[in-house]
Amino acid sequence: MSKAVLPDKNEEYGTKAYWDARYSKEAEEPNFDWCQNYANVAETFRELIPDKAARILMLGCGNSKLSEDMWDDGYHNIVNVDYSPVVIEQMCRRHGVVRPQMEWHEMDIRELRFDDASFDVAIDKATMDAMLTYKGDPWNPPKSVVNDCMREVDEVVRVLRPGGIFIYLTFGQPHFRRRYLAQRPGTTLDVRELGDTWNYYLYMLRKQ
């Protein structure tokens, strides 16, 4: 990753201005993917999403290759959202001809403009992590940060159909992430620890 796109302060990862500026500087064909690439999680995703026709919501898609790799693996009902208009325009250009049915929407994951119970799967690959890059005690995040993360999960649960699953991929350990996902009426939460040298976590929130 080029130093030119790194923020001066870690908490800038949680701002729209940073991402708009970063995507304006980055090449439209990225060579960096946050957390894990699809090849490393494909077997697990195929297990969790056995239906290739499932309607999938990609939260904070950015310029990640996850959507295109899943598309090329047979998942042809993917809806991507990101609050950066810069990256949405780039991704439309990048995929418009090769993957014309894939959808791209400028949208804040805390205020999804989709109907209730309209998706089978929602995926967050380190998007919530960007909202958690505040300055301060990791055990006691600011109320605004807690509210932002809770709003994301509330919206995800709202748009998931009964039986749907929210897949959250992150390096964030359970003692820092469970609070945003656990104890929600009508849902169950499971966590898997994956990886060898660098451990990461897969949170699976199912809507009953």
- 118 backbone φψ class: left, alpha, beta (φ>0; ψ -120 to 50): alpha
Whole-number pLDDT of residue 31? 54
Name, in order, each residue with C-beta under 8 angstroms of 108's C-beta and a sequence gap of 6 or more: 83
What per-residue confidence (pLDDT) applies to 14? 63
Domain that holds residue 165: 3-207
SS3 content of the chain, % helix, strand, coil (to 5): 35, 25, 40
Q: What are phi and psi of 198, to 5 degrees?
A: -105, 105
Band of the pLDDT at 164, cuts 50, 70, 90?
very high
Buried b (16+ CB within 10 A) or exposed e, 24-37: eebeeebeebbbbe
C-alpha span between 178 and 182 (Å, rounded) = 5
The tens digit of pLDDT for each residue in 59-90 reads 999 999 999 999 999 999 999 999 999 999 99
The pLDDT value recorded for residue 6 is: 57
The larger pLDDT score, comparing residue 173 to residue 195, is at 173
Domain count, the chain: 1
Q: What is the mean pLDDT of residues 114-143?
A: 91
CATH number of residue 181's parent domain: 3.40.50.150
Greater confidence, 12 or 149? 149
| CA gyration radius, the chain | 16
Give the model's pLDDT for residue 3.
45
pLDDT of 35 reads 72
Report the mean per-residue pLDDT for the chain: 89
Region 109-114 average pLDDT: 98
Q: Report the alpha-carbon distance of residue 26 to residue 24 in Å, rounded.
A: 6
DSSP 98: T
Percent of the chain with pLDDT strictly greater than 70: 89
Q: 158, 116 in Cβ contact below 8 A?
A: yes
- Averaged pLDDT for residues 190-203: 89
Nearest CA among 162, 91, 160 for reference residue 121: 160
Sheet with 103-106: strands ordered across: 103-106, 78-82, 56-59, 119-125, 160-170, 200-207, 187-194
